[in-house]
Amino acid sequence: MPTLYLIHGFDAAPSNHWFPWLQDQLATLGVDCHILALPNSSQPNLNAWLAKIEQSVAVHDEDVYFVGHSLGCITVLRHLEQINQAIGGVVLVAGFAEDVPLLPQLDEFTALPLNTAHLRQRIKQRCVIAADNDATIPFFLTESLSQQLDAQFLIVKNGGHFLLGEGFDTLPVVLEELRRMFERANAEISGKPSSVNPH
């Protein structure tokens, strides 16, 4: 069965937003979901966050998946740039890979361009999710991230930044995309055609 790691964003914690809901939903599917508590999230440091992920992820293989939210997305990708094994997939919610105008304190995470060729090769399934009215991360930055990764791009109407304060204690679009990824992976292993179109 898959193992999933959820990487939260700036000034967040594992108990925030839709993270506990997703963990509970995945448990019903038999998926082990770890929500990592990243250090000092109100003053994030890239190396400290990467060290936490490195310490927490036991193995990297095609049964491993990541979900990132906001700053967690670029953090996941920075981690995976250092990994030479293929993983099952990523779902990146309200992510970015370039400087965010309103959040210069996060520029350390985006100072270098992504190694997109490596990431596309190592991440078998890729999905990026954006809201059309995100006031924190401009839409065009998340759209650009999806293009860099050659990822499926899903747009949620009036999703904001997918925060609890905006009403998001659940986020079914993430769960459904993960279910599709798991189904495609299982179909590939069994040699049977999947009922959903791969990206």
Catalytic (active-site) positions: 70, 134, 161
Handedness of CA 151, 152, 155, 161 (dihedral sign): negative
Longest CA span, the chain: 48
The values of phi and psi at residue 160, to 5°, are 55, -135
**DSSP letter assigned to residue 196:** S
> Token pair for residue 149?
């990764």
Q: Do the Cβ atoms of 2 and 31 come closer than 8 Å? A: yes
Question: What is the C-alpha separation between 100 and 117, in angstroms, rounded?
Answer: 23
**Which of 194, 187, 197, 171 lies closest to 23, judged by CA?**
171
Closest CA to 67 of 150, 171, 199: 171
- Return the closest-CA partner of residue 23 out of 4, 51, 40, 41: 4
Extract the tokens encoding 156. Answer: 């949620």
